[in-house]
Amino acid sequence: MTDTRFNPLAADTRWQKVWEEQQTFKADDNSERPRSYVLEMFPYPSGRIHIGHVRNYTMGDVLARFRRMTGHEVLHPMGWDAFGMPAENAAMEKGVHPGGWTHKNIDSMKAQLKRLGFALDWTREFATCDAEYYGHEQALFLDMFEGGLVYRKESAVNWDPVDMTVLANEQVIDGKGWRSGAEVEKRKLSQWFLKITDFADDLIEGLGELDGWPEKVRMMQENWIGKSQGLTFRFKLDRAAGDFGDIEVFSTRPDTIFGASFCAIAADHPLALALAEGNDALAAFADECRKTGTAAAEIETQEKRGFDTGLTVTHPLDPEWHLPVFVANFVLMDYGTGAVFGVPAHDQRDLDFARKYMLPVTRVVAEEGEEDTPIHDEAYTGLGNIINSKFLNGMEVEAAKKAVIDRAENKGWGTGSTVYRLRDWGVSRQRYWGTPIPIIHCGDCGAVPVPKDELPVKLPDDVSFDKPGNPLERHPTWKHVDCPACGKAAARETDTLDTFINSSWYFLRFASQPDDRPFDKDVLAKWMPVAQYIGGIEHAILHLLYARFWTRALKALCKIDIAEPFASLFTQGMVTHETYSRVQGEGKSDTYYTPAEVDRDGNGAKLIADGQPVEIGRVIKMSKSKKNVVDPDEIVDQYGADAVRWFMLSDSPPERDLPWSEAGIEGSWRFVQRLWRLFAQIDDSASGEDKVVDRKLHQTLHGVAEDIEDLSFNKAIAKIFELVNLIEKAKASASRNAAIRALVQIVAPMTPHLAEEAWAMLGGEGLVANAPWPEVDESLLVEDEVTIAVQVRGKLRDTLTVAKGLPKDDMEKLALASEKVQRAMDGAEVRKVIVVPDRLVNVVI
């Protein structure tokens, strides 16, 4: 009936062409079907996709194809997150324009994605560097400006000295730039900000409604926003320091105020800056503090250091009690007031600091019976009753907090307050390859929005990267314009927008793409929110928090009607691979090699080029720097797209990492061939029913459908294996034929090229991509037979398949009639028979 081997390269090309010509996956805005918007986080066009990308997109593709089969109008788009520093770096290193480099990469990556047969609506494709896209983004920025959600101020910023741009706090990882890896510095610059803090409470409350999000991601966002309630009060300085007579402090633990032993301020606190002007040693210490990271993990692990200012403050509840004032490296200016009181007994950072500088440690919270237990090297952070605290003694922690706040408010030296770790989003970036900020600076009128009919403000093409810094700043003509308000000579804003803005609304543009505005509100309402969003856990804070804020801001401006952009979120695991390297000697970086350059056998690995051994490293996330990446083109050339897709789904739960292996992809290729041989085994002359096959088919249809909806692809694959095993062993029958035909539809979301080829071979109508999911016979989901164990004196002697619910007497008769049971009894008299319905018969002799 057909060749015994499936030719994937021929089938892949044939069916991808058909899908493109027929625009099979183009979403219809006017469809009456229920809608489903499936989206994977769009890629940065770095030049090549790797297997990690393939896993991400395969998961979304299976869901998108399945939902088409279950009657949904599906939107499954693709585009490119195309602005950013890598393109600008390439321009400097290779002497090319960022736009040319970017679009060349897009063409390459698009061709790779198409080879894998993803059911994407390419008619909605765009790159965020397209002037049309960023022109609409500029319009939205101006809407926010007019709505009071955008402002400009001078502030201390994180400065990346290599990329020469500002970084958001979220982009500083362990004190280093998230892309360059350079030590981040603190600088003062005039920056544009978005008022994300206006939405802090709403962003936290909204997390409670996101049942389709991983708990880990919701917790990460809540912790990043960092809502804290406590007491804000002022320590009075015992002697004035210039214009400063007191220090404002915020604490979440006012109950521990009698355990205070020092006051600490940030290196950028106004008092610290004033004191440093006349103190070179303090100025040097503050500079050192600015070079350390702001990440919570780094602050916890770094050595706690301080500089004694020589100042003291008076305790607000005891005028005879004076505390020294330090500038400390673990206090941040962007949290609370930039000043804290240290309670060493109950905060580990404070305890480490106190031990270093020989400061008192007074325990003020203890569980019953632990009141006299001293604090050694570990702070006590648990609950208990208050001790050593005068009028608070004996109170529980929460009652003591309230008592201190009440007294502070009654006496006028403090107030109960709420603070947030989250700061307004600084969006100014001093670089070329980004969205120009549509503002003109006029000496008379100030900051003036570019008129909307003059958008987009396009990036000039004739820029030079021969010097560090922002080419827009030194362009001879681009920035020189007249003020739209008064007509006088003015200058464009030369900063561009943080690229995270590009990805904070792209999902809206995918859903609606009118020419004259960013989106149509009514069309948007048909598709949003995104039904299923898929991407890496590394975007849990940066991208997802910003996207949630941007959506809320647009709703506040009455541009859209939704607050949450993503109804359900799935964070997939990484694809991993061992590394191959050679140590180059002291002071030199190791040299890494790609898997394609290495010959791997059971005894080790050798470099193909010279036949010499290479070191086999740990299995880690695929990384371009470590070169442990697998190029999907090479794998598709060898095994075909469907085998690659099948492997991405089959070997590991999708939320866990997937180790790449040659054995795994070869096994997937063999199973694709096995399916093809099975599809060729339809016997048109066969008739009759096979109840076992019928039941297994419908159980598989039901189970696989549930697994795909749950994104439990490995479980779905396991059920398909079981069905295939059963069909292969079953005798020819009409039931077997029906199961084989249905199997083509079952595997269609996972192996679409194979399924189309088999569907055509078997005379299916149209494309299997447009075929419905087979109907499930609910009556066949219930098992009407069970397997029971038959024991003699507690030892298993036989198993019997019987009708479910068979009466005890009948179970006993069948068990005693078993030849194996009779041999085991060897003529002995039956003393007793124990029957457990549907499970067990035990014969006692």
Please state whether beta strands 840-844 and 598-601 pair in parallel, antiparallel, or not at all (unpaired): unpaired
Say if 232 falls within a structural domain: yes
Predicted local confidence at residue 721, as pLDDT: 97
Same-domain pairing of 633 and 597:
yes
Same-domain pairing of 322 and 404:
yes
Q: What angle do CA 278, 283, 286 make, to 5 degrees?
A: 145
Q: What is the pLDDT of residues 431-452, one digit of tens each?
A: 999 999 999 999 999 999 999 9
Same-domain pairing of 721 and 738:
yes
Specify the amino acid at residue 314: T
Q: What is the DSSP string of 50-107?
A: -HHHHHHHHHHHHHHHHHHHTT-EEE-B--B---SHHHHHHHHHH---HHHHHHHHHH
Predicted local confidence at residue 2, as pLDDT: 53
Say if 24 falls within a structural domain: no
Say if 37 falls within a structural domain: no
Task: Name 219's Cβ contacts closer than 8 Å, sequence gap at least 6.
Answer: none
Predicted local confidence at residue 587, as pLDDT: 59
Same-domain pairing of 771 and 793:
no
Say if 551 falls within a structural domain: no
Same-domain pairing of 344 and 405:
yes
533 φψ region: left (φ > 0), alpha (ψ -120 to 50), beta (else): beta
Chain mean position to CA 776: 35
pTM for the model: 0.84
Say if 86 falls within a structural domain: no
Domain end (from 765, 780, 795)? 780
Predicted local confidence at residue 1, as pLDDT: 47
Same-domain pairing of 323 and 362:
yes
Between CA 389 and CA 394 the distance in angstroms is 9
Same-domain pairing of 354 and 471:
no
Bridge partners, residue 619, by sequence:
578
Q: What is the 3-state secondary structure (H, E, C) of 804-824?
A: CCCCHHHHHHHHHCCHHHHHH
Specify the amino acid at residue 168: A
- Give the total number of structural domains in the chain: 5
Q: What is the DSSP string of 306-371?
A: EEEEEEEEEETTEEEEEEEEEEETT--TTSTTSEEEE-GGG-HHHHHHHHHTT------EE-TT-T
CATH code for the domain in which residue 732 is found: 1.10.730.10
Nearest to 64 by CA among 626, 466, 531, 667: 531
Domain end (from 370, 396, 420)? 420
Between CA 35 and CA 510 the distance in angstroms is 14
CATH code for the domain in which residue 826 is found: 3.10.20.590
Same-domain pairing of 380 and 235:
yes
Predicted local confidence at residue 560, as pLDDT: 97
Q: Which domain holds residue 702?
A: 675-780
Same-domain pairing of 686 and 821:
no
Predicted local confidence at residue 50, as pLDDT: 83
Please state whether beta strands 532-535 and 598-601 pair in parallel, antiparallel, or not at all (unpaired): unpaired
Torsion of CA 809, 810, 813, 817, to 10 degrees: -160
Between CA 534 and CA 570 the distance in angstroms is 5
Residues in the chain: 845
Say if 696 falls within a structural domain: yes
Predicted local confidence at residue 457, as pLDDT: 98
Same-domain pairing of 732 and 679:
yes
Q: Residues in the chain with pLDDT < 70?
A: 1-3, 168-170, 292-301, 585-589
Q: Among all chains, which residue has been given the structure tokens 């002037």?
A: 131
Q: What is the pLDDT of residues 496-521, one digit of tens each?
A: 999 999 999 999 999 999 999 999 99
Say if 300 falls within a structural domain: yes
Reduced to 3 states, what is the DSSP secondary structure of residue 48? coil
Predicted local confidence at residue 455, as pLDDT: 98
Same-domain pairing of 183 and 252:
no
Predicted local confidence at residue 782, as pLDDT: 78
Same-domain pairing of 256 and 405:
yes
Domain end (from 401, 420, 439)? 420
Say if 821 falls within a structural domain: yes
Instruction: Decide: 304 and 352 in contact? Cβ < 8 Å.
Output: yes
